[in-house]
Amino acid sequence: MVHAPRVLGRYPDFRRLFAGNTVSLLGSSVTRVALPLTAVGLLDASPVQMGLLGAAALVPHLVLGLPAGVWIGRLPYRRVLVLADAAQAVLLAAVPVLALTGLLAMWQLYVVVLLAGAGNLFETVTAQSFTPHLVPRERLLPANSALMLSNATVDTSGSALAGLLVTALGAPVAIVADAVSFVVALACKARIRTPGPVLAPVAPRASLRADVVAGIRAMVGDPVLRAVTLAATLGAFGGQLQAVVLLLYLVRTLRFGTTAVGLLVAVAGLAGILGALLATPVTRRLGPGRAFVAGMVLAGVGGPVLAATAGPPALLVAVPVLAQLLRGTGPALYGVNQQTVRQTLTPPGLLSRVNATWRFLVYGTQPLGALLGGVLGAAVGLRATLVVSGAVMLLGAGLAAASPLRRRTATEAPRSDAA
């Protein structure tokens, strides 16, 4: 069995992709803290403006999510990665420059977040489509585990780095770290020797619409891919239902202070690292289908467990910790497997389109989930909303368990490149 560290050592092009992604993720964790603080502290943004700023990052997934997969497939993957990193570096560097010259305005932040979100869309879809060309298909599971481990580790440690840089440099200037991280990422990915394929349209003179439809059909037509996508979409929707009420529940219902909330957030982050480390051995033992379902069940149970917090002081601490362990471990376990299943079942010529379609569906539901979570929290209460969010995620797990995915015990090669 080849584990994540051995995959990094054995496949240098994948190692360069991994290094570039890790560095840029670390930089982006700074921007996630520094950019909202810039809007609030420097520009005195209103709640409505902050909402628009958050929505701007998701708009590219809704508008460009489907055609992005087609466009990415028509260029060498390495070139797309380099261009996306270069664009994000320039956009983010503009924020501290404008702030230091006194010219920064909210509309400029909207533009930066919107365009950087588009760059992130192209970068992520390309990286997910490129990985099967950088490692053998039988090594995709440990490769994806390595990427998930990187994400979880950066998510856990990045907020601490962000706090230090914002304190030392101020919020706008701290964003320089993210711009620099994309330059470093660009240098890593430019050294990848494999340029990646340039894919032909589904047919001579095929329209953009025809290529988009081919990607949708590839996903919907395969019962396993269809089940994974539907379950992941429900998981993302339920996750956003939960995310918008989580901090309110911890602070207003359980009366936790800032330190306790911070520790609970850290518990979920550490559990994400644990889930990424366990993903390969658990999947080898259970198979990708059952491991995917198990991860979704763990994640789905987390919300109701948290909602059940009550009793003596020991339980008031132990139950939320258990819930955070479930909420952190589950997504890492099913995230690694859903990505591996997509990569192994989809013909290479359609992979960028399938990945983009998946991202369009999964990310497109998240604003709706966040909106509904806020409405439910006000209408039926925070505990009930946590239970509903878990039920939605468990519904996704049930649909996956009832599909051919559950019986899948090993990765298989796609049928063909045909659309």
pLDDT tens-digit map of 104-123? 999 999 999 999 999 999 99
Residues 38-62: pLDDT tens digits? 887 888 877 567 767 777 887 888 8
For the segment 235-257, the average pLDDT, to the nearest whole number, is: 84
Give yes or no for a contact between 125 and 352, defined as CB atoms under 8 angstroms apart: yes
Q: What is the mean pLDDT of the chain?
A: 84
For the segment 407-416, the average pLDDT, to the nearest whole number, is 53
Helix 223-248 to helix 288-307 angle (10° resolution) is 20
Q: What is the pLDDT of residue 40?
A: 76
Other beta carbons within 10 angstroms of residue 407's beta carbon come to 11
Q: What is the dihedral of CA 385, 387, 389, 392, to 10 degrees?
A: -140
Strand, helix or coil for residue 135:
coil
Using the CB atoms, write b or e for 116-155: b if 16+ within 10 Å.
bbbbbbbbbbbbbbbbbbbbebebbbbbbbbbbbbbbbbb
Over residues 252-262, mean pLDDT? 80
The residue with greater pLDDT, 416 or 149, is: 149
For residue 319, pLDDT beyond 80 = yes
Handedness of CA 137, 139, 144, 150 (dihedral sign): negative
What per-residue confidence (pLDDT) applies to 48? Answer: 66
Closest CA to 327 of 401, 285, 275: 275
Contact 411, 138 (CB under 8 A): yes
Cβ neighbours of residue 371 under 8 Å, at least 6 residues apart?
none
Residue spans of alpha helices (H) in 347-411: 351-364, 366-380, 382-401
Domains and CATH numbers, the chain: 4-199 (1.20.1250.20), 213-407 (1.20.1250.20)
Query: What pLDDT is stored for residue 416 in this prediction?
Result: 44
**Residue position matching structure tokens 């309110």:** 248
Q: Are 11 and 164 in contact (CB under 8 A)?
A: no
Predicted confidence (pLDDT) at residue 297 exceeds the cutoff of 90: yes
Where b means 16+ CB within 10 Å and e means fewer, 12-25 reads: ebbbbbbbbbbbbb
Task: Give mean pLDDT, residues 131-144.
Answer: 84
| 26 pLDDT above the threshold of 60 | yes
Q: Is the pLDDT confidence value at 309 over 50?
A: yes
How far is 271 from 321, CA to CA, in rounded Å? 10
CA dist 297 and 397 (Å) reads 6
Q: Between 259 and 277, whose confidence is greater?
A: 277
Q: CA-based diameter of the chain, in Å?
A: 69
Could you tell me if 223 and 400 are in contact, meaning their C-beta atoms sit under 8 angstroms apart? no
Alpha-carbon gap, residue 178 to 66, rounded angstroms: 27
d(CA 403, CA 389): 22
Q: Classify residue 23 as left (phi > 0), alpha (psi -120 to 50) or beta.
A: alpha
| pLDDT (0 to 100) of residue 414 | 45
Question: Cα dihedral angle (316, 320, 325, 327), rounded to 10 degrees?
Answer: 160
Q: Please report which confidence band the pLDDT of residue 339 belongs to, taking 50, 70 and 90 as the band edges.
A: confident
Q: Are 319 and 313 in contact (CB under 8 A)?
A: no
Name the least confident of 145-154, 162-171, 219-228, 407-416.
407-416
What per-residue confidence (pLDDT) applies to 204? 53
Per-residue confidence (pLDDT) for residue 206, from 0 to 100: 58
Considering only residues 419 and 347, tell me which one the structure prediction assigns the higher pLDDT: 347
Percent of the chain with pLDDT over 90: 30
Q: Is the pLDDT of residue 418 over 60?
A: no
Query: What tokens were used for 401?
Result: 């368990």
